[in-house]
Structure 1
C-alpha cells in the first residue's frame, strides 16, 4: 500500500485530509512542521509528501528543497491558503509535482494524488529497468570492468558534452542514463532524441523551432540532460546548426551523444561536420565490447538471473566455457537474449551447455588466426595514429615501422 506524509501546522487539516485519503487505499502519516517532516522522512520512505507552504520554523518551500536534495525522485504536492504566483512558480522550479490552492475541492486533491501515484510507479519501474541494465554492464571484476566504471564516474561529474561510443549492442542509452544518475543533475530531466528512430522529416522539429531556436523538446531538458542517440545519423545539413545549438545550451542543459560509428573517420570522409565533432568529442567514454571482457560473463549472467527473479545461481563449466569462447557480435543485448532463451529450457539451478542456443557452437564464421591478428593489428595502428593526432612519423616511431 502506498503511503502519504501530510505536513501542516493545523491538526484539523490532518484530520480532514486523513478522512479523505485513507478510504482510497493510502497509509497516512503526519508532521506539524518541516523539521519534524524531515526527521520522519529520514526514518521512513514515503511515496508522496503533501505539504503546506506557510509553516514555522521551516516553511514548505524549504522543506521541498531539502527533500529534493535528499531524494531527487521524491513526489511532493504543495498546498497553500494564499493564491501566490511567486510561491507557485518557486515550488514548481524546486521540483514540486503539483500546487494546490486552499480551499480546494476533494476531486482536485484526488486527481493530484492519482497522478502523483502513477508518476511514482512509472519512476520506480523505469528506474528498476535502467538500474538492472546498467548493473549488468558493470558486473564483473575484470580490469576492463573496473576501469570503465571509474571512467564513467569521472565523466558523470564533468559539465561538458559527452560522446559515448561503442559497438552495436553495447547499450549506450543505458550508459547515458547511468551517467545522468551519477551526475549532479540526477533527478532533473533526461530527454532523448534518437536520430536513427526519428523520421527525417520530423527530426528538425525535434531539435529546432521555426526560427532555429531550441525546440520545446530540447527546452524540456532544462537543468538536466539532452541525450542525442545515434548522432552519426543526423543529416549532414543539420549538423552545423546542431553544433551551434549545443554551444548555446552550455550551462543550462548537458548534451550527451552516442554513436556506433567512428565519427573521426566520418569527418575525414566528409560525412560529418568537423565543428560538431570537435564540440562533442573532447569528453568521450568508450563502452567495451563483451568480447573484450569475456571473463565477466559468469558474473553478468548471475546478475541477470537475480534481477529477473530466475531460479538459476550458477553456470555449468561447459556452459561458461562455451559462452566465453563465443565472439558476441551483438554484445550485451545478444547475451541477455541468450540467457533468456537458456532460462526457458533450463532445469534446476544451473544453466548447462545443452541449455544454450546452437549458434554458440557454430564456429564456421570465425576468421583464421592470420586474419584475426591482422584485424587487431590494424585497430592498434589506427589507435596509435589517432593518439599521435595524425602524425605518421611519430606513429611509425611507436609502431617500429617505416613512415
Structure 2
C-alpha cells in the first residue's frame, strides 16, 4: 500500500547523506526537499509546507538543535527526526525536550528510519484531524434546561435546523432568542457559511436599508464607496433579524420583496443581486397585536413565521434555574481563574428559583457573575441571593418616587432612561463600549444619549 503523499525536508551538510536519504524516501513515494545547512532549512520551511524534517545535529554554522529551537519558537509543529553521528544520551534527552519526535544515529538503519518516518507522519495526520474536528465544534453555549418547554424547543430545533424554513423566535428580553437562532444555524447545512446578525432596534431607521441591502458609491451624502449589506454578507448562510418588530414600515416592505424574490437591490443601484439566505427573525413583541395597530405588515409576518418558536420566561420554568446557574458559573471559571472553585450552596440554588428574574437568563448571568466575584470562602449562599432582592427593592423605591413625582409620560420616560443609562455605566465602570454592548445599542447612540441627558462621570 503506497504511503500518503507527504513533503519531507532532509537537512544535512553532507551531500552523500542527503542523496542517500532522498533516494530511499522517494522510492517510498514521498516528496523530498533538501537543505545543506540550518539557514537553508529555515528558508525552505518558509517557502514550502513541510510534513516532516530529517535534521542532522552537527552542521556548520547553525546546528540542528538551534534549528529545532527556531522551528518551535516560530510555531512550526511538524515532527522532526534528529540524526547524528555522535549519538549520546544527553543529546537525545535535549532533543526530546525541544520537541523532537525521534533520535536516530548515523548511519541510519533503513527499517528503523522508515518506521520512524511513518509513525511521525501518522501522528501528524492524527493531530490535523483533531484540529479539524475542534474547529468544526460550534463555539455556542448549550441550551440548558430539562423543563418540558425547553425539551420541546430542542426537539423543534433538531427537526427544523436541517431545512431552509424560516423561523420566528419570540420571547421576552433576555430569554435566549439569539442562542436558539445560533443553534439552528449550527445544526443546519449552512453552518459552514456565515451567520450575520442585525439588531433592527439598534440601527436608526434612515440607516437600516443601507445596513441590510448595502449601497453604491455616491448613493447619498457620505457614501464614498460601495458597501456590501447584510443580505449579501449572509449569502450561502443565515441572516438573523433580531427585534424585527422594531423595523420601520419602509424597511419591512423592502425585506418582504427580498424574501419573495431572493434578490436585493443596493441603495442607489438598479441591478438585482441574487442572494441565497435563510432568514431567522426574533422579537419580544406580540406581532399579531402590532399588525392590528398597523405597525407591522401581515404579509411579512406570514413570510417569516413559517416555524414559530416561543421561549418562555424563567418564571415559567423555575426548575431550570439551578442548572442554568451552575452552568453559568462553570463557564465563568473556564474564562477567569477568579471564579475557580466558587460553588453554590443548595439553599442558594433554592433561593435563586424564588427570585423574580424580570431580565430572565441575561439578568441571572449578570447576578451570578456579581455574586461569584463577591462570594466569601468561595461559596455563594442564600444570603447572597437575598441581597439581590434587597438591592432591587431600593431601585424599585426610586422608581416608585419617580412615578409619584412626574406627571407627564414623556418626562417620566426620559427620567427613567437617564437613570437606567447612568446605572448601567456605573455597573461597567463607565466603559462606554462595554455598556453599549451589554444594553444592546450602538456606541454612537450611547454618546448621543449621554449628551442629551447631560450624563458625566
Q: Shift of the alpha carbon at 1:286?
A: 1.3
Pair 1:330-2:356 in alignment: no
Flag structure 1 segments of 5+ consecutive residues without an equivalent.
1-5, 31-35, 49-66, 75-123, 366-403
Structure 1 residues 315 and 156: alpha-carbon distance in aligned structure 2, compared to 1, 3 A threshold: same
196, 202, 211: which one pairs with 2:207?
Answer: 202
Pair 1:272-2:296 in alignment: yes
Pair 1:28-2:52 in alignment: no
Q: Shift of the alpha carbon at 1:348?
A: 3.5
Query: Residue 237 of structure 1 corresponds to which residue in structure 2?
Result: 250
**Correspondences of 1:117-132 after superposition (within 5 Å):** 128=139, 131=140
CA deviations over 1:110-153 (Å, ceiling 9, x no partner): xxxxxxxxxxxxxx9xx54xx2xx32xx2232222222221222
TM-score normalised by L of structure 1: 0.60
CA deviations over 1:210-244 (Å, ceiling 9, x no partner): 589x9543112121101111111111122122111
Pair 1:339-2:339 in alignment: no
Structure 1 residues 147 and 29: alpha-carbon distance in aligned structure 2, compared to 1, 3 A threshold: farther
**Partners of 1:297 and 1:38 in 2: how far apart?**
48
Query: Residue 316 of structure 1 corresponds to which residue in structure 2?
Result: 345
**Partners of 2:259 and 2:347 in 1: how far apart?**
50
Which deviates more from structure 2 when the two are superposed, residues 21-30 or residues 267-276?
A: 21-30
**Partners of 2:231 and 2:77 in 1: how far apart?**
38
Flag structure 2 segments of 5+ consecutive residues without an equivalent.
8-29, 36-40, 51-66, 81-118, 220-226, 264-274, 334-338, 397-457
**Partners of 1:28 and 1:301 in 2: how far apart?**
42
**Partners of 1:156 and 1:41 in 2: how far apart?**
35
**Partners of 2:251 and 2:347 in 1: how far apart?**
51
**Partners of 1:21 and 1:200 in 2: how far apart?**
54
Pair 1:297-2:304 in alignment: no
**Partners of 1:271 and 1:347 in 2: how far apart?**
50
Which has the greater radius of gyration?
2
2:345–2:380 CA contact under 8 A, matched in 1? yes
1:305–1:312 CA contact under 8 A, matched in 2? no
Query: Residue 31 of structure 2 corresponds to which residue in structure 1?
Result: 10
Which deviates more from structure 2 when the two are superposed, residues 37-46 or residues 352-361?
A: 37-46
**Partners of 2:186 and 2:344 in 1: how far apart?**
31
163, 166, 177: which one pairs with 1:172?
Answer: 177
Q: Shift of the alpha carbon at 1:326?
A: 1.8
Q: Shift of the alpha carbon at 1:288?
A: 2.0
2:144–2:324 CA contact under 8 A, matched in 1? yes
RMSD: 3.5
**Partners of 2:298 and 2:211 in 1: how far apart?**
22
163, 177, 187: which one pairs with 1:182?
Answer: 187
Which deviates more from structure 2 when the two are superposed, residues 329-338 or residues 310-319?
A: 310-319
Partner-residue secondary structure (3-state), 1:297: helix
244, 248, 253: which one pairs with 2:261?
Answer: 248
TM-score normalised by L of structure 2: 0.53
